[in-house]
Structure 1
Amino acid sequence: MSPAFDDTRRWMAQGTELFTTSLSRVSDEQLAGPTDLDGWTGKHLLAHVCANAEALQHLVHWARTGEETPMYSSPTQRNEDIETGSHKDAAELREWYHRSVAALDADVAGLTDEQWQHTVVTAQGRTVPATELPWMRSREVMVHAVDLGGVGFADLPADFCAALVADIAAKRSRTPEHPAVSASATDADVAVEIPGTGDPIVVAAPLSELTTWLAGRPGGPSRTTDGNDLPGLPAWL
């Protein structure tokens, strides 16, 4: 079940503000350095967030006009855009980010209530109403604000983290090569069961730490409820 549309619109705005703030605190030298995402520098990450905004604009255009405009022109375009963008200089990347954010926000603001109900197809081939687009964007800017540095999952809205945990659990449930998990938050009414291989890993932690671990990021809980080392998970986004 997708989060409420009003919530996702709010999270998209909050996430954009968080990412913009994080970006303003990162030096050009830090952007050129590695991130916790395997093989990605800060420039790769920033290029991805910029290209994602433009790809979502294609879906907004689709919802507004009915003209089929996929997020990417080919299965390889996403990665090609990221790699090409990673070679831009920092000033050009920063300008691209601000331009792409402003353009996406303007296009989203222009959709009518009827157009929000029109269906589009995501890069993964899912047919969804346009009302899902703010959720798709809020995940990108919220999670990658953490990846960029300067903020952690504890700085994200708690209701967003609760929705993200449910979303991650649903996605990981479709990839059974992952370990089975039984996870619950100690400070919120959030619990998920993720089918997978072996006996479930049972973990209980504050919501922000639980979200960190389920998203495959460093800094989450280190042990299961029975005191065993908690294995890391591959990055989810």
Structure 2
Amino acid sequence: MLKEIPPTRESFAALDAAAERLLAGLVGLDDHGIGQPSTLPGWTRGHVLSHLARQAPALERLLEWARTGVETPQYASREARDTEIEAGAHRTAAALVADVRETAAHFRRTVARLPAPAWQATIRPFTGELCTPRRILVIRLRELELHHVDLAIGYRVDDIPAPALEIILADVLGYYAEAADVPDFTLRDGQGAVLARFGTGGPVVSGSRAAALGWLSGRTAGSGLVSTGELPVLPKWL
């Protein structure tokens, strides 16, 4: 099952802290740096920031759906989403950072004002799953943290604070639990606790929770993990 978290003070604080870490990391990033490649194929840092800025109002459209009951898609289409990202990716560093800052703040205000009944409404994000707005909190936290890593400005999966990392790891594991073509293997953390089992056999893969998240999310090739056999080849996440 894909992860949802409650609309609590702690959840909101986690979103605020993730946005603040990202914005602090962007201090000093100039126009040349914005145009440099991110770790995502075909995307510069500008593309990553453009995506984060445009994702906030897109998620707000889902919150509007929850509030009103009127179906409001996150994006009109994948093409529309990609066009929007590309259109904003080549702006100056100052413009992109300001956009990320302003849209993050607007998103948080929208979340804070969502009426209690709306948190129980059923909506459907662009990825297709049926969920409540509680899942939107997970999506936004996940995107802030992992795309911070993707910017290649010194922030690593290991730097994600434990509470946020646990939420994101549970979400990624939930995705793989429902995905097709996942090879058989068991995943354990550094203390030997089972994080997940896929299938009935296969190797045992062990390592820190950060190393596991890095591998499962495609941010690493498995660095920091050990396996009793060949490291499984995972289907693409998202």
TM-score of the superposed pair, with normalisation by structure 1: 0.85
Deviations 1:42-94 (A, max 9, x none): 01111111111010111122222233221112232121112222222322212
User: Residue 12 of structure 1 contacts residue 138 of structure 1 at CA under 8 Å; is this kept in 2?
Assistant: yes
User: Residue 169 of structure 1 contacts residue 193 of structure 1 at CA under 8 Å; is this kept in 2?
Assistant: no
Amino acid at match of 2:53: C
Deviations 1:108-131 (A, max 9, x none): 111121222222221123221122
User: Residue 214 of structure 2 contacts residue 220 of structure 2 at CA under 8 Å; is this kept in 1?
Assistant: yes
| Structure 2 CA distance for partners of 1:49 and 1:64, relative to 1, 3 Å | same
Match of residue 202 from structure 1: 204
Match of residue 159 from structure 1: 163
TM-score of the superposed pair, with normalisation by structure 2: 0.85
Match of residue 4 from structure 1: 5
Q: Give the one of 76, 88, 98 matched to 2:91.
A: 88
| Structure 2 CA distance for partners of 1:209 and 1:223, relative to 1, 3 Å | closer
User: Residue 48 of structure 2 contacts residue 147 of structure 2 at CA under 8 Å; is this kept in 1?
Assistant: yes
CA distance in 2, matches of 1:51, 1:156: 23
Cα drift, residue 24 of structure 1:
2.1
User: Residue 19 of structure 1 contacts residue 144 of structure 1 at CA under 8 Å; is this kept in 2?
Assistant: no
**If each structure's strand is expressed as a fraction of its own residues, which one has the higher value?**
1
Stretch moving more, 35-44 or 125-134: 125-134
Identity of aligned residues (%): 30
Match of residue 68 from structure 2: 65
Match of residue 23 from structure 1: 26
Return 5+ residue gaps in structure 2 as ranges.
none
Match of residue 170 from structure 1: 174
| Structure 2 CA distance for partners of 1:26 and 1:222, relative to 1, 3 Å | same
CA distance in 2, matches of 1:195, 1:42: 38
Amino acid at match of 2:81: R
Cα drift, residue 194 of structure 1:
3.1
Deviations 1:140-175 (A, max 9, x none): 101111112322122212233233222212223444
| Structure 2 CA distance for partners of 1:17 and 1:181, relative to 1, 3 Å | farther
User: Residue 181 of structure 2 contacts residue 235 of structure 2 at CA under 8 Å; is this kept in 1?
Assistant: no
Deviations 1:178-236 (A, max 9, x none): 4433211114855112349xx6342111121121111111374355333x664675763
Deviations 1:12-56 (A, max 9, x none): 222212221222253332221111111111011111111110101
User: Residue 172 of structure 2 contacts residue 216 of structure 2 at CA under 8 Å; is this kept in 1?
Assistant: yes
Return 5+ residue gaps in structure 1 as ranges.
none
| Structure 2 CA distance for partners of 1:89 and 1:234, relative to 1, 3 Å | farther
Match of 1:120, SS state, is: coil
CA distance in 1, matches of 2:103, 2:174: 29
Match of 1:119, SS state, is: coil
Give the aligned length. Answer: 234
RMSD, matched Cα? 2.6
